[in-house]
Amino acid sequence: HLSIRRQRQMCIRDSITFDASETGFCFPKSWLLKKISTPAESILNDTEYQSNPPGTLNESLSIILSAYMNFGGIPAIASMASALSMSERSLKRKLAEEGTTYSKIVEAVRMNTAKRLLENSDSTTQHIAYILGYSGANNFIRAFQRTMHRSPSEYRKQPVSYTHLTLPTNRE
């Protein structure tokens, strides 16, 4: 049996023909039987993650939700609880014990992703809002301003201000 990676290479290696009369893509029939892992399953089953897991549920969710951002959006709390093999109520309770909520973690992940996109891409505010799952650019701009105390365009111009950084001294 060929590895899945080798099968993919075999299908994709043929040249791509533009302006062809047909468009198609071939793949082995066996791929239809493969289970598609969610980002949560992929991360939780990762050996590196298992050997060095985050210390808190909040940290774990932040990592998992960041991966979901790359796969089309944040799942509802019920879906995330199911992926973590617990009830929604248990997830809420454990997060409350850590002093946070699912929505606060989601918002933090969104803002971190927004900052990364503003710093490292030319994406429009509208496109970033769409990626982050906001219903419109105005909702994203308001949320960003509420959290970062400046607009996305202001942040893009100067992402990090070191001028206000003060270091503690050991003088008495």
Q: What is the per-residue pLDDT for 164? A: 43
Pick from 61, 72, 51: which is nearest to 131 by CA? 72
pLDDT in tens, 13-72: 555 667 777 777 667 788 788 777 777 777 777 777 677 777 889 998 998 898 888 777
3-state secondary structure of 17: coil
Q: Which helix (H) or strand (E) holds 68?
A: helix 57-69
List C-alpha distances in Å: 24 to 12, 33, 144, 148, 153. Answer: 11, 20, 42, 46, 41
Residue 119 binned pLDDT confidence (cut-offs 50, 70, 90): very high
Q: What is the per-residue pLDDT for 158? A: 82
